[in-house]
Amino acid sequence: QKEVEQDPGPLSVPEGAIVSLNCTYSNSAFQYFMWYRQYSRKGPELLMYTYSSGNKEDGRFTAQVDKSSKYISLFIRDSQPSDSATYLCAMNQAGTALIFGKGTTLSVSS
């Protein structure tokens, strides 16, 4: 079993839809959870950063961590064409390297 699993998609939604992106993981020691957005031919850009379980909201974006289920989510409300990108989850425990998911490609059509 891979340490971090992420459905690659592609995921296509109409503008204004609520998008749910997810990752599962196997290492219960992971404590730090991140979501990165990567546009085509660009580097990953940090979107959300959470520690341990719970929710974090930033504008249209909400990150959720459920450590009991080893499951993290990123919700995008009122999705826009500019949200079209690949979304990478990443996580680790203190003192260890980040482990990335393969990314989910999202396309938002106007």
Which residues, at least 6 apart from 53, have a Cβ–Cβ distance to it below 8 Å?
65, 66, 67, 68
User: Per rule CB under 8 A, is residue 78 in the interface with other proteins?
Assistant: no
Name which position in 15, 18, 46, 81 contacts other proteins (CB under 8 A).
Answer: 46
Q: Is 102 in the site for other proteins (CB under 8 A)?
A: yes
User: Least distance in Å: CB of 63 to other proteins?
Assistant: 13
34 contacts other proteins (rule: CB under 8 A): yes
Q: Which of 15, 16, 20, 42 binds other proteins (CB under 8 A)?
A: 42
Sheet bearing 61-66, strands edge to edge: 4-5, 19-25, 71-76, 61-66, 54-58
> Least distance in Å: CB of 36 to other proteins?
8
